[in-house]
Amino acid sequence: MLLWFRNDLRTHDNPALQYVLERLVGSDSGRAIFFISEKQWRQHDWSEIKIDFIIKHAKKLATELASLGITLELVKVDYFSDQLAYLDEYCERLHIKEVVANSELEYNEQQRDKELAKKGIKLTLFEADVIVPKGEVLNQSGSMFRVFTPFKRAWLKYVNQFGFKYISKENLPEFSALETNKKHALNQGLSKAWLFADDFERDQLPLFLRSKLPDYSNNRDFPGMAGTSEISPYLAAGLISPRYVLMQLINHYPDLLMATDSNNFAWLNEIIWREFYRHLMFHYPKLCKHQCFNSKYQQLHWHNDQQKFAAWQQAKTGYPLVDAAMRQLSQTGWMHNRLRMVVASFLTKHILIDWRWGEKYFMSQLIDGDLAANNGGWQWAASTGCDAQPYFRIFNPIRQSERFDATGDFIRTYLPELAEVPDKHIHFPHQYIANNNLNIYWPAIVEHKQARLQAIAFYK
Ligand SMILES: Cc1cc2nc3c(=O)[nH]c(=O)nc-3n(C[C@H](O)[C@H](O)[C@H](O)COP(=O)(O)OP(=O)(O)OC[C@H]3O[C@@H](n4cnc5c(N)ncnc54)[C@H](O)[C@@H]3O)c2cc1C
Residues 99 and 123: their CA atoms lie apart, in Å, by 5
221, 232, 349, 362, best to mutate for ligand 1 pocket (most atoms within 8 Å of CB): 232
How many contiguous H segments (helices) and E segments (strands) does the chain have? 21, 5
**Beta carbon of 212 within 6 Å of any ligand 1 atom:** no
Q: How far, in Å, are 232, 293, 351, 394 from residue 386 at the CA level? A: 21, 6, 22, 17
Q: What is the pLDDT of residue 263?
A: 87
Q: Which atom of ligand 1 is the closest one to the Cα of 232?
A: 49
Sheet containing 122-126: order of strands:
70-76, 30-36, 2-5, 98-102, 122-126
**Which regions of the chain carry the CATH code 1.25.40.80?**
148-169+197-283
Residues 232 and 373: their CA atoms lie apart, in Å, by 10
pLDDT band with cut points at 50, 70 and 90 for residue 186:
low
Give nearest CA residue, ligand 1 atom 16: 337
Is a pLDDT exceeding 70 seen at residue 179? no
Q: Which CATH architecture has domain 295-459?
A: Orthogonal Bundle (1.10)
Tens-place pLDDT, residues 385-425: 999 999 999 999 999 999 999 999 999 999 999 999 999 99
Side chain identity at 32, as an amino acid letter?
A: A
Q: Which atom of ligand 1 is the closest one to the Cα of 341?
A: 53
Question: What's the gap in Å between 301 CA and the centre of ligand 1?
Answer: 28
Q: What is the pLDDT of residue 170?
A: 73
Q: Which helix H or strand E contains 5, and what residues bound it?
A: strand 2-5
Concatenated DSSP letters for 383-397? T-STTPPPTT----H
Q: What is the mean pLDDT of residues 210-221?
A: 96
Q: What is the pLDDT of residue 117?
A: 87
- The catalytic residue among 219, 269, 294, 337 is 337
Is a pLDDT exceeding 80 seen at residue 447? yes
**Which regions of the chain carry the CATH code 1.10.579.10?**
295-459
Mean pLDDT (the chain, rounded): 95
Is a pLDDT exceeding 60 seen at residue 184? no
**Beta carbon of 230 within 6 Å of any ligand 1 atom:** yes
Tens-place pLDDT, residues 118-159: 888 999 999 999 999 999 999 999 999 999 999 999 999 999
Q: What is the pLDDT of residue 176?
A: 65
Q: What is the pLDDT of residue 196?
A: 97
Give nearest CA residue, ligand 1 atom 37: 270
Rg (CA), the chain: 23
Give nearest CA residue, ligand 1 atom 33: 271
Q: Helix, strand or coil for residue 438?
A: coil
Do the beta carbons of residue 104 and residue 238 sit within 8 Å? no
Q: What is the mean pLDDT of residues 369-387?
A: 98
Cα 418 to chain centroid distance, Å, stands at: 31
- Closest listed residue to residue 386, CA positions, set 293, 298, 296: 293
Q: Which helix H or strand E contains 411, and what residues bound it?
A: helix 409-414
∠ Cα 129 130 131 (to 5°): 140
Q: How far, in Å, are 142, 372, 420 from residue 283 at the CA level? A: 12, 12, 51
Q: How far, in Å, are 144, 244, 384, 414 from residue 455 at the CA level? A: 30, 42, 13, 28
**Beta carbon of 47 within 6 Å of any ligand 1 atom:** no
What is this structure's pTM?
Answer: 0.97
Q: Which helix H or strand E contains 358, and what residues bound it?
A: helix 355-365
Q: What is the pLDDT of residue 40?
A: 98
Q: What is the mean pLDDT of residues 322-334?
A: 98
Do the beta carbons of residue 102 and residue 16 sit within 8 Å? yes
Concatenated DSSP letters for 245-306? HHHHHHHH-TTTTT-TTSTTHHHHHHHHHHHHHHHHHHH-GGGGGT--SSGGGTT------H
Do the beta carbons of residue 332 and residue 384 sit within 8 Å? no
Is a pLDDT exceeding 90 seen at residue 175? no
Is a pLDDT exceeding 70 seen at residue 185? no
Dihedral sign of CA atoms 430, 434, 440, 442 in order: positive
Question: What's the gap in Å between 212 CA and the centre of ligand 1?
Answer: 17
- Closest listed residue to residue 7, CA positions, set 359, 378, 365, 370: 370
- Closest listed residue to residue 104, CA positions, set 375, 371, 293: 371
Return the CATH class of domain 148-169+197-283.
Answer: mainly alpha
Q: What is the pLDDT of residue 236?
A: 98
Is a pLDDT exceeding 70 seen at residue 180? no
Q: Which helix H or strand E contains 72, and what residues bound it?
A: strand 70-76
**Which regions of the chain carry the CATH code 3.40.50.620?**
2-126
Q: Is 337 an annotated catalytic residue? A: yes
Residues 394 and 459: their CA atoms lie apart, in Å, by 12
Do the beta carbons of residue 379 and residue 385 sit within 8 Å? yes
Q: Is 273 an annotated catalytic residue? A: yes
Q: What is the pLDDT of residue 346?
A: 98
Share of the chain above pLDDT 70, in %: 96
Among the ranges given (170-174, 220-224, 337-341), the one the predictor scored with the smallest mean pLDDT: 170-174
Q: Is 357 an annotated catalytic residue? A: no
**Beta carbon of 291 within 6 Å of any ligand 1 atom:** no
Dihedral sign of CA atoms 274, 276, 278, 284 in order: negative
**Beta carbon of 249 within 6 Å of any ligand 1 atom:** no
Residues 130 and 145: their CA atoms lie apart, in Å, by 17
**Beta carbon of 362 within 6 Å of any ligand 1 atom:** yes
Q: Which fold has domain 2-126?
A: Rossmann fold (3.40.50)
Q: What is the pLDDT of residue 27?
A: 62
Residues 272 and 330: their CA atoms lie apart, in Å, by 28
